[in-house]
Chains A and B, each alone.
Chain A
């Protein structure tokens, strides 16, 4: 008995070394990852914070962005993102509702739709940019405009929106579907009055994630909404998004680094807020599901 015990310990030695190494490697990996994220953010804060003051938010850029603020850029970014969300939300909701509520499960059409969504989600944003420039800009004659950029972004965030809404709707218990039907609600009313409100947090989380992605996008906007850093007067004007502004200051404008960092800080702060909001909403959703 003791023999077999000791022999198994003999064989176990390499395992013990490996067992001891694994947590060390895991901790190290985590440390490197966190350190890297911390470094990037601190670098931006360190170099960006001095340039941040109230006037940075309300002034027009001067000298190709080396001086002045980012007021028109913030307005353009806001308009582009609002256009994108406004165009993508109805389409995304309709597609998700159709997939979950009106397609029989396992139907071929639903499978094809899912596949196309996955393909769309994997398309690089520069390809969306080229498509948007060719389709919205040239073919539909929108040129370089906030509208064209916003619609391109809408195509880009659509898969994300459909997927999150779809998951939210699938999490709604069938009990409520049957309950609504048994009360004589039409399918449309059931979706509108019961299922969508019940999936509301998922839809909101999806919208916020889409908002985050749209705000952070550069490549898809360079060819669509353009570079112009003036205050836009309508959706048909060209407008420069914040991320495009950062790209331009960093790559094309000598001496634009300080404002590039300040703009990057604004962008990152906004994205952190949006993502935290999205996370807390899905967290809330999860807790609600567990408790019901």
Chain B
């Protein structure tokens, strides 16, 4: 159920979920909704965490989710790869389609969905094994039995995240011996190695020192065009630097809600909603 770029919800209050063709967006972006979310409600143990969220995520673009803590950014992200399934008592309703597929359909292969939609977490979470095994294991699990191919993909993934030169001599050292920034880039490599088309990032820099944060940030910027990236962040400056689109979430009636969604430039320069304006100028939040 792919939807056209324009729909009736695109009203002046800024609750529209599609933005239409990219007029002046970066060249890498294709005005094609690769993820379409409609009327998404998420509740944990009966307590609503996210209410009625609808938006389109465009192919090859970086979309930033901004807003204060507890406004549902992380919940939104984890509903996109159905990681919400892991918390018992979590109920998701509404529809999410990825590449035209309803991800809640019974015939959906969860493993395949998560291979296609990779995820990076706030705290780097490499497994307590060697660098090589961290990357080798997911490949093997997804049926890449050719050792030569696995080694090639490990090298490519590490080059992609700019880690190859730093770890090529210690692929067999424990991943936990790497610095925080290196660990996070290893986690990104671990996600990239499965050749996903979409990457979800939940505040990927917030647990890192400023220098590592800058490295990871520029790396995320370099993914633009090759991957569709959805990144939750409460660092507004970072969102402005790396994102093509920005979605602003806020707590409304004790549940997270999407307030405004627009190109990054417009959302920061000429926000339509007064809450957005207050937040991006630092008056609220």
A and B physically associate: yes
Q: Which residues from chain B contact A15 at a C-beta distance below 8 Å?
A: none
B187 touches which one: A179, A197, A291 (CB < 8 A)?
A179
Nearest-neighbour CB distance to chain A for B98, whole angstroms, equals 14
Could you say which of A181, A183, A197, A292 has the most chain B C-beta atoms within 10 Å of its C-beta?
A183
For window 107-123 of B, CB contacts with A under 8 Å fall at 110-115, 118-119, 121, 123
Q: Chain A contact residues (Cβ within 8 angstroms of B): what range?
A: 20 to 34
For window 164-187 of A, CB contacts with B under 8 Å fall at 173, 175-186
Q: Is there an interface contact between B111 and A184, defined as CB atoms closer than 8 Å?
A: yes
Q: Is there an interface contact between A181 and B121, defined as CB atoms closer than 8 Å?
A: no
Q: Which residues from chain A contact B119 at a C-beta distance below 8 Å?
A: 182
Q: Is there an interface contact between B138 and A184, defined as CB atoms closer than 8 Å?
A: yes
Q: Which residues from chain A contact B194 at a C-beta distance below 8 Å?
A: 183-184
Interface size on B, residues (CB 8 A): 28
Q: Which residues from chain B contact A288 at a C-beta distance below 8 Å?
A: 128
Nearest-neighbour CB distance to chain B for A33, whole angstroms, equals 38
Q: Is there an interface contact between B86 and A178, defined as CB atoms closer than 8 Å?
A: yes
- Interface residue? B191 (CB, 8 A): yes
Q: Is there an interface contact between A183 and B191, defined as CB atoms closer than 8 Å?
A: yes
Nearest-neighbour CB distance to chain A for B117, whole angstroms, equals 9
Q: Is there an interface contact between A292 and B176, defined as CB atoms closer than 8 Å?
A: yes
B121 touches which one: A175, A186, A189, A198 (CB < 8 A)?
A175
- Interface residue? B125 (CB, 8 A): yes
Q: Knowing A184-B111, A198-B127 are in contact, say whether A179-B121 is a contact too (CB < 8 A).
A: yes
For window 251-290 of A, CB contacts with B under 8 Å fall at 288
- CA of A175 to CA of B120, assembled, Å: 11
- Interface residue? B278 (CB, 8 A): no
Q: Knowing A175-B123, A178-B121, A179-B187 are in contact, say whether A184-B128 is a contact too (CB < 8 A).
A: no
- CA of A178 to CA of B85, assembled, Å: 11
Q: Knowing A175-B123, A178-B83, A179-B121 are in contact, say whether A184-B129 is a contact too (CB < 8 A).
A: no
Q: Which residues from chain B contact A105 at a C-beta distance below 8 Å?
A: 88
- Interface residue? B141 (CB, 8 A): yes
- CA of A197 to CA of B115, assembled, Å: 23
Q: Which residues from chain B contact A173 at a C-beta distance below 8 Å?
A: 125
For window 193-212 of A, CB contacts with B under 8 Å fall at 193-194, 197-198
Q: Is there an interface contact between B81 and A182, defined as CB atoms closer than 8 Å?
A: yes
Q: Is there an interface contact between A198 and B128, defined as CB atoms closer than 8 Å?
A: yes
Q: Which residues from chain A contact B141 at a C-beta distance below 8 Å?
A: 183-185, 189, 193
B residues at A contact (CB < 8 Å): 81, 83, 86, 88, 110-115, 118-119, 121, 123, 125-129, 137-138, 141-142, 176, 187, 190-191, 194
Given contacts A181-B83, A182-B118, A193-B137, 5 further A-B contacts (CB under 8 A): A182-B119, A184-B110, A184-B142, A189-B141, A197-B128
